[in-house]
Structures are given as C-alpha cells and as structure tokens.
Chain A
Amino acid sequence: MAEITKAQVEHVAHLARLAVTDEEVEHLAKDLRAIIDYAEQLNELDTEGIEPTTHVLDLKNIMRKDESKEWITQGDALRNAPDHKDGQFRVPSIMADN
C-alpha cells in the first residue's frame, strides 16, 4: 500500500493551487493511494534502457521567426476578464493586507 499522508496531500494541493477542506484531504488521500497502488503494477516491467515516449510522431523542435503579428487587440483580450482596470488585468493584492 502506497503511503500518502494527509500532509503530502496538502502539499500537493498547494502546488496545484487548490484549496482543500479536511474532508477533501481525506478523500483525496484515499483515492490517490488506490490509484498509485494500481500504478505500482508498472514496476513489474523492466524498463532499463527503454527510451520514454513523450510524443509518438518523430518531431524535432519546430522554429519560426520571432515576428509580431496581428492577433487580438488589448480590448479583446480583456473582454472575458473577471476584473480589469486601465487596460490591464486586475487581481487582488499579492501580499495579504493584514
């Protein structure tokens, strides 16, 4: 049984920028343990020297010229924003105010 502690779940949730309740932490710990246990079966396979496949097609880096192009206007970009001011996205303060 994979050991996944509540503290680990809370750490991963922070990395993933998810706020989780105590109850969710318990559920997620249980689910993750079950899924990771299931994934442990991959260790039955000897993969020494096997290249990982990140991509099935034989693609190399594809470069293009760094040129500016017409895409969307600043106004368009802000159209779906929850909050904006003076042509910029506005977010809550980065440092907590108290």
Chain B
Amino acid sequence: MWQNYFKVATRNLFNHKSFSFINIFGLAVSMSVCLLVIMLVHDAYQFDTFHPDSSRVYRVLTDAQRKGGGEESYATTPFPLGKTLTEDYSYVEAWAPLVRRLNARFTTGDKQLDVEGLLTDANFFNVFGFELEEGDPATALNSPNSIVLTRESAERFFKNQNPVGQVLENNTLGSFKVTGVLAPFPGKTHLEFDALGSLSSLDGIEQRVQDWGVLQNNWNNYYGTYNFVRLRKGVSRETAEQALAQISKEAYADLDLESRDAGYRFRLQPLSEITPGPILSNSMGSGMPEMLIWFLTALSAIVIFSACFNYTNLTIARALTRAKEVGVRKIMGATRWQLFRQFITEAMVVSGLALIMAFLMLQATIPLFSQLQFLEFTDVTLELDWTTAAWFLFFSMTVGLIAGALPALVLSRFQPLAIIQKLQNTRLFRRVGLRKVLLVSQFAVSLVFLILLTVSWKQVNFAMQGNFGFNANTIVNVNLQGQDYNRVLAEFQQNPNVVQTSAVSHLMGTWQDSKIDVRVKPGGEPEGVRDYFIDDQYLSNLGVKLVAGQNFPDNPAQSTELFALVNEKFLEHYKLGSPAEVLGQTIIVGDSTVLTIRGVVEDFLYKPLSYALEPLLLRYDPAQWRILNLRLQTTDMPAAITSLERSWKKVDKSEALSYQFYDETVRENFANLYDIMWIIAYFAGMGILIACMGLLGMAIYSVETKAKEISIRKVIGAAPRDLIRLLSKGYLVLLAIAAVVALPISYLLGSQMLESFAFRIPMNVLIFLPGIAILFFLGMLTIGSQTVRAAFGNPANNLRSE
C-alpha cells in the first residue's frame, strides 16, 4: 500500500510541475532557515553536558535587591555561602567554589603570558567532568600556590617540555608551581579558564593584594566567587533554596549591606540552564542567551508556517483535481483513515524533497551566516552530526504533517458519490475567506520584516555617522599588556610616526564600562557614575574641550588620587551650578576617596549611541592606565604599524603588539546591530519570497479555473487591459489590506527596536515607503506574470477544450 501511495505522490508531483515547484521550493527555502536555526540551537545546548550527575549540579545565584527598587541577578555569590550550605546542612554532596583571583600575567624564563585563572580545590574534579592528563586530581590543588594548566596554556608556556614541577611567576600574586595538566575538555563548557590555582593560595594572595579585600569570610562581596554545589540524591532544589534563605537571614542580620543594596536572595540555577540561560551580571564564558534562541526560533517558525500554509492552501485549492481518485478509492473500499494516510504521505514526500533541497541551500547559507559576529561571541559552531541530522529528519516529517494535515482531512472527506454524480464543480472547500486571511497575514509579516529592515539599516547608518565628540581618527590604541607605562611610552615617543600620546583605563565609545558610587556631599545618597582614568594628555589628544578650570597636572609618580574632571551633565545632574562655581568643590568617590573638581569638560558622547548622555567622571591614577592612544601622522599606515611593532618589541619580546585603530573599534560596536540587520534582511527575503510563491500559486490556480470565463469575456469584446484589471483587482485589495495591517505593527516594533538607542532616527513615512513599494512591486510582478499571459492567450484553446 505504501508503495502505491509513494507512486501516486511522485507521479502527481511530476504531472503538476509548477505547483510541485512552488510547494517544494517554498518549503525548502524556509526549511533551510530552520535547519540553520536547528543547528544553532542544538549546538547551543551542547554546553556542560559531560559532567557526572549533572542533573544534581547547581550554581548559586544572587538576586541583589536595590534600595531604589528593582533587583539585579548575579552569577556570583559570597564565598561563605557555599561553605555554610555545605558544612551546616546535609544537603550538599560536593561544593566547588571558583574564585576569580588568578587573572594575571605570568612569567617563566623569558615567556610572559596573560592567564585567565580560577582558584578552586580538589572538589572541582568531583563536581565537574574535567580530567587531568598529568597530576593527581586529589592532590594537585591542595598546597598553596599550586597551579594546574589547560593543555593549551601548558603548550603556550612550555612547548614540548614537561610542565609539571615548573614554576610560573607573577610580581603581585607570587610564584605558582605547576602540579597538573588538564586533558582536553570532553565538550563545550561555559567555564572559561586557562589555569586553576589552589584555593589555599587565596590567603596569601589577599595578603599581597590588600586592595582586593578578603573573600573567604566576607558576606558583602557577592562578586568574586562562583559557588557550585552537587546536591545529594533525593534533595530537591526547593529544600536547598530554603536552606539558602535561612543562611542569608542569619548571615545578614547584623551586617551593613553595600550602600546601594536593600537585601539579597540566593537561589540555585541548574548547570544545564546556564548555557543557554538568562543574562546575568558577572556571568562567565560565552554561550547563546536564551532570548536569542527564542528570537531565532520565533522568526523561523513564522517563515516555516508561512511555507506550510502555501502547501496547505494550494493543495486544498486544487483538491477537486483529486476528487475522482478519492471517490474511486473509496468505492474500492478505502477507508477515510487510509486516504488520510495517503495524502499525509504525499505531504511527507514533498517535505522530504524540500529537505534535500534545503540541505543544499544550507551549505550555501552556512558560510554567510558564519560571518556574523554573534556566533563568535556565543562560541557556537555550525557542525553537522548524526543528532542534528536526526533532528532535520524529524523536523521535515513534522513539517509534512503540519502542511499536509488539513488537505488530507479535506480530501479524505470527499464522498464517493461526488464522482458518480459528477459533482466536480461543487465547491468542496468553502473557506476561501480563511485562505485570503492567511495570504494577507503572509504579506503583512513580510512587510513588517521589510520595514524593520529599513529601520535597522537607517539606524546603523545614523550610528555610523554619529559624532562621538572626540576625535578617534588616526588614533591607534595599544594595549599595555601589563608592561610598564613609562617604558612603553618612552619607546613610542621616539617613534617618528607618533605625534601625540595619551593614556586611559578603558576605551570611550565602546561597551567597555566602569561605574563608581559618587556622593557630592558627605552623607548624600551615592549614585553610580561612569568613570575613566586618563592622563594629562588625553583631553588634547582626543580633542575634548575644557569649559572651565584646568586639566590634570602631569604627575605620573602620584601616590594619592587628588583631582577629578567632570562634564557639564554632571553639574546639571547634581545641580551644582555653573562650571566656574563648581571648581574647587569636593566629591566623595567610592567609599572614601575625596577628590577636588579641578575642571569641567564640555558634554560629548563618550558611549555608543544606545546610551543616553550621562554624568562623566574623569580621574587621574597612573596605576589604572591600560591603554595608550597613539595619534599617528603618516601616509603609509602599514609601515607605521611595522615601526610601532618594532618599538613594542624593545619592551616586550614574548608578546606581539596588541593594537587596534580606534575608529574601527568604535565601528565594531555596531557589529551586533549589523548582525540583527542581516538576520532581519535574511528573514525578510525569505518571508517575501515565500509569500510571493504562495501568491503565484494562487494566481496560477485562479487563472486556470477562470480560463473559460476569460475566453468568453474575450470573445464578447473584453480588451486584455480589462482582463488584467479583472484578474488582479482582488489580489491588489489583499496586498493593500496586508499593508494596512502591517503598518501599525511595524511602527510599534520599530519604535521598540529604536527604544534601546538614546540617539535614534525618527519613525516617519520615509521608513515605511520602501517596504510598501517593494511589496507592491513584487506582488504585482507575481500576479502579472499569470494574468498577462491569460489575457493575451487564444480564447479558442479554452473554449474548444471545454
């Protein structure tokens, strides 16, 4: 029987080539998008799947409730929380604290390399599925100042030498002895580290770097420790969370909280829900945020449903051509269920062929998609394996089922009597209204995509031309990479291509961010203000103007921070009066640093356009400078860069010059906007292509069924123009309705999209016009291709065949 179904299905496809093409191609186009999203989503769920008993492993999170209302969730928790939960309760089988206090530049011999390290203990190997290829997991992290390297970092430091027993030095943190090497990770993980240091080193580190404060008994520092626990079998998450609440109640009863906080709530996050997962402050590693997964899934669902609808619509419209077959089969004894199966099989054959075509299209799409930056940020790789292939197959069958269900239902309902009584002209499916509604929705969705594309394109252009208020052109930013500022500066100042230099803690005009609590009078309410540490050359190098007061004095040997510069917005925000009035006033920064306002700079955009202009605090502390801004004057940029590299080599022999052109860096901020734009463009293209395919199918069908009417009208004197108008009118009305439906929706979505930009383009009629024009142009082209042919055809052909 199945053989018979397949035969009929393939022969039907072959006999009605244009409809088959519309169905298969339309499904394939949308399927290729979905396959891509399946690959992305599948990959996104491959993080941290290799840990033993991972269903019982949780990360403890902090929800910090702010005084002004609202709360912020952190991936980190106070160190003693994990310890108390483990020691005072019987719920935890193993506890692995991960402390971020080993990020430093380590030296061995003449090699100097940056290391991202975590402090932890032997429980790390108990809770997580990482293994050591050298060293003993039970003891490697026991003694203070022991370090275990990933194989990659071991090779970076020691090439082919045996790393175990070797020593890595850091001026601040001390010497660490290599006690093990991790085997390559068995899979992807959200944990990001090059090395693991022994937790017992923490005391020593805290003594050496007193600025960092203590962590181990500090309930107020919820920034520095990731607490991971594996609960005992049978202990529920709720039970453990109740214990956390109890601990928190007791621990904070007599404590002064951080000035902005009203309280904390701690909760457990399953390991499997970290990546993909919600966006949290202090979160470690990459991985795709859940939101992005939902966004992409929703977009692909829209596209695939649109294509399924084309199949459903066309198949039902053409159902009468199958009426005879259904009738005959029923007379032969076929049951309704058998016929339902037959038509579902046909839909599956179509979706199977579409899958093959989609797979080929996917091969062309992957390289394009791989260029999107977010794939890099989220550590997602597009690789095909057996599981993904199985998902593809399952997906294609589901699509066949969804697209084929309604036609199968309608077709299998035909009564055998229909063919005996020659009822072929009866309208067996009366829901023409529904078809029109769906066609309108397809075009409305496409138009929404088109308009959003226009919005994002215009905003990107606007943002790119946006004036940052500082001059980033011809500046090359050089990362000090831990090297001594004075030495590096001295080298670059000798370079003839460098006309001016300045130093800064982190870059303006990028997402890099830092905020510090500021009070303008003692006892006042602290508020977070963005701060940058600059040198005395920064303002003139970047072209920022002082409106009152003086610049910082040149004092690289400064031991105590004394002065601050603020922008005009700062004065306005704190109601401090005119720039002249504010000079000499003091402000309290952080807990107790008192700074005197020495100058006021004019307002300028120092953050990407998504940020509103806010108060700015400029500070002077040579210890915080990380980046040198070198303004170059040259006609031969490659040669200039080579000479910079030569200068750098004199200071640092092991690491290459790390530099970037400032204007490019600023432009890279828009990478995500570009990504969104490309994704929307892609979906808009798909959406409109599929909608046009559906329209084409309906136009072919309606011209076919109206062939006789057209011929009669022609014979009695209708001109082709009249016929084209007659045939197109209905569709034009549908397109117009689609536009009317789409406009308010796209206005709302577009406005929401722009909401995230403090500086944005206005939503006006010019944003809507291109989309509408494209929609009508393509719609008319599609309908015209059929109506024109029908209007100019020979009427005798149709009348004769009748």
Q: Do A and B bind each other?
A: no
Binding site for A on B (CB under 8 A): none
- Mark A residues whose CB is within 8 Å of B: none
